[in-house]
Structure 1
């Protein structure tokens, strides 16, 4: 096998044929004729010393060896395209695509203001921000979908593989509708909150764990009527229509209780504060961020260090 003698155009062709499934479509993507595409496939199989795919009624079907080769070709082609991307972005520093993920509190407190600043500096930038629980974000981080995330490492993550920059604790507020029976009371304990229905993130999530510990520390009964949901929209709808209580990060609660949102949501006056352990800015070690991603990260870190109003 002499796969090391494959050229970049060979790898591009393998990637195109695997994705498109038909020789004509791969030839079109490569901007070559169909006979030239057939010769390219023959050249590739001659170099590697075996067949990598076969034709069927629907196009080309890759065999096990071909699938391995196509997966590696896809990575190489992506890295080469990233080189071109970085060179272009270095020229002006204001174009390209940034893909990040964030837990809800970080998205509201840090990513939102930073994204508004980025829009002013780089109006043509493509920005993707996914708001998900940390477990989902880290799964997608491991899959290479993000430049960086604002989240917490999961048990499946190797801390040595990441550059982890702590942000701070996530202070919780407890949201209810304006006319909730507890809305006008002060110095509430978790015993006071036990009889009511709750809407909370799924069991095992950091917020769920923190709330469970808070009830346990006061020897209060954990609520019996609970709806588990990670959806902020569903949680807000439930709280606004029932006497349910929902824990939110302070930054999210401040947004939901703002007058201009008119959600008619208030937060309870608790006798003691409750905080979720710190989340972090997480980057993969050894991966060079694009100039635009680095610019966005700098804007986010500036928001992190900004004093909370």
Structure 2
């Protein structure tokens, strides 16, 4: 095909030959291709000159393509079909119904916000491909600036230069205290935060946002910190440890609800009815200030925003 293009092959040549393959008549092929019959005959003659071989043979009912004509016509049909498909895909990309969107999220919102939005994307925009990175806001912010993410659900880190970031605030992230179902505090009436302090706690390592939030909650109310704390970044290990011991774990309420109320651990873990006002500060949908979202990423951004408002 490259040599033919150098010899002067045009799309009009492909269109008339493809139409001739389908109709078997030059007049009908010309009408199908939107040109006059003399123009069609001229294009076919040019093609035969380029190739140095006849492409069709006339007969009483019209024309019959030669083997060379059928070979080139089949290629012309395939090429035009591929171009139509490409044009459609470009239109989908421009309209935001096709593309690849790289999404980051902190753990809690990934369960109660991102999961349902991904389900909606799968149904409403099946040609949008997504990849998801679950991490801390610090790391997600680094990934956004490095162009490894298109957007993330989380917070702008306190120590970061906020100028490269834009955030659509959603709200605070509530925290629940999780224990095993037959924990000594389960079912106790009049439970207070003081009742929880003699037990071991399982939290993020020192410096983690959720741990800082839980510690600040206690200190602001004049309470001491738990004496024994197991530090881990693994939610799965946290849940397993709580299930096997009397430890207490502060977890994002979305995580606690997902694993306890809807998950397979529902019969083995429970949420203590205490410290219901404990919450991590506002989070939102974070993007880059100086770079517009791709149409597909903009669709995801809008869906996240709409879903978060519907939960209010």
- Residues 108 and 93 of structure 1, relative CA distance in 2, 3 Å threshold: same
Structure 2 residue 210 is the aligned partner of structure 1 residue 204: no
Per-residue CA shift, 1:119-166, capped at 9, x if unaligned?
Answer: 001223321111111111112122111001111111342222211111
Q: Which runs of 5+ in 1 are unaligned?
A: 1-83
Structure 2 residue 305 is the aligned partner of structure 1 residue 301: yes
* Aligned match for 1:125, one of 125, 128, 148: 128
Range that drifts further, 257-266 or 123-132: 257-266
Deviation at 1:271, TM superposition (A): 5.4
2:170 match: secondary structure: strand
**Distance in structure 2 (CA, Å) of the matches to 1:90 and 1:164:** 24
Per-residue CA shift, 1:153-201, capped at 9, x if unaligned?
Answer: 1134222221111110111111111011111124432221111111112
* Aligned match for 1:220, one of 218, 223, 233: 223
TM-score (normalised: structure 2): 0.67
- Residues 92 and 216 of structure 1, relative CA distance in 2, 3 Å threshold: closer
Partner residue of 2:278? Answer: 274
Structure 2 residue 293 is the aligned partner of structure 1 residue 292: no
Partner residue of 2:63? Answer: none
Q: Point out the structure with max Rg over C-alpha.
A: 2
**Distance in structure 2 (CA, Å) of the matches to 1:121 and 1:231:** 33
* Aligned match for 2:235, one of 229, 232, 236: 232
Structure 2 residue 162 is the aligned partner of structure 1 residue 159: yes
Deviation at 1:88, TM superposition (A): 5.7
Partner residue of 2:148? Answer: 145
**Distance in structure 1 (CA, Å) of the matches to 2:91 and 2:230:** 49
CA contact (8 A) 1:186 1:269 kept: no
Partner residue of 2:137? Answer: 134
**Distance in structure 1 (CA, Å) of the matches to 2:97 and 2:301:** 14
Partner residue of 1:54? Answer: none
Per-residue CA shift, 1:81-111, capped at 9, x if unaligned?
Answer: xxx9x94643563222110111111111211
How many residues end up aligned between the 2 structures? 224
- Residues 201 and 260 of structure 1, relative CA distance in 2, 3 Å threshold: closer
CA contact (8 A) 1:161 1:284 kept: yes
C-alpha root-mean-square deviation of aligned residues, in Å? 2.1
**Distance in structure 1 (CA, Å) of the matches to 2:256 and 2:275:** 17
Partner residue of 1:257? Answer: 260
- Residues 108 and 170 of structure 1, relative CA distance in 2, 3 Å threshold: same
- Residues 284 and 242 of structure 1, relative CA distance in 2, 3 Å threshold: same
Deviation at 1:259, TM superposition (A): 5.0
1:214 match: secondary structure: helix
Note the 1:82-93 alignment, pairs <5 A: 87=90, 89-90=92-93, 93=96
Partner residue of 2:198? Answer: 195
TM-score (normalised: structure 1): 0.68
**Distance in structure 1 (CA, Å) of the matches to 2:199 and 2:167:** 38
Per-residue CA shift, 1:275-299, capped at 9, x if unaligned?
Answer: 1110121110121212111111111
**Distance in structure 2 (CA, Å) of the matches to 1:152 and 1:128:** 19
